[in-house]
Amino acid sequence: MVACKQSSDSSHDSGKDSSENTDATPIAEFQKTTHDFGKIITGERVAYAFRFKNAGNSPLVITGIRSGCGCTVGDYPKDPVRPGEEGRVNVVFNSAGRRGFQSESVRVLTNAEESVITLRITAEVLDH
């Protein structure tokens, strides 16, 4: 009887655990993944903070950021973002030596199920 009772309690608990284990992945939900700086003057440095929330059930860890060129750099939280918490990926674009329409991307590397998230910035760089 004790074994049955434990089994019953255990199955109730394991039902919870199995649903948590199934969903125990971080989910990075970005408010938006593109930002247009509009018209800027060549040589100007502009920045934007892409906000996100960990909508999953385990800590979200950003392991790195990769950009397509040296004109675009990103900064990110180094500590894990707990479930339900928010964070920011700051992207800075340096328009020095650039002219015309610019489109740059930054890849955010995470431990989430969708492990690579691409953020894109655009701008029209004008001479003085």
Q: What is the pLDDT of residues 105-122, one digit of tens each?
A: 999 999 998 999 999 999
Name the least confident of 7-11, 24-28, 48-52, 93-97: 7-11
Q: What is the pLDDT of residues 49-74, one digit of tens each?
A: 999 999 999 999 999 999 988 899 99
pLDDT of residue 80: 97
Residues composing the chain: 128
Q: Distances in Å between the alpha carbon of 108 and those of 33, 74, 76?
A: 11, 9, 9
Considering the domain delimited by 25-126, tell me its CATH architecture. Sandwich (2.60)
Q: What is the pLDDT of residues 18-50, one digit of tens each?
A: 334 356 899 999 999 999 999 999 999 999 999
Q: Distances in Å between the alpha carbon of 88 and those of 70, 104, 120?
A: 20, 18, 14
Do the Cβ atoms of 52 and 87 come closer than 8 Å? yes
Is residue 46 packed enough to be buried (19+ CB in 10 Å), middle (13-18) or exposed (0-12)?
A: middle
The band of 7, judged by pLDDT with boundaries at 50, 70 and 90, is very low
Residue 2 has pLDDT above 60, yes or no: no
Domain boundaries of the chain, sorted by first residue: 25-126
Q: What is the pLDDT of residues 71-88, one digit of tens each?
A: 999 999 999 999 999 999
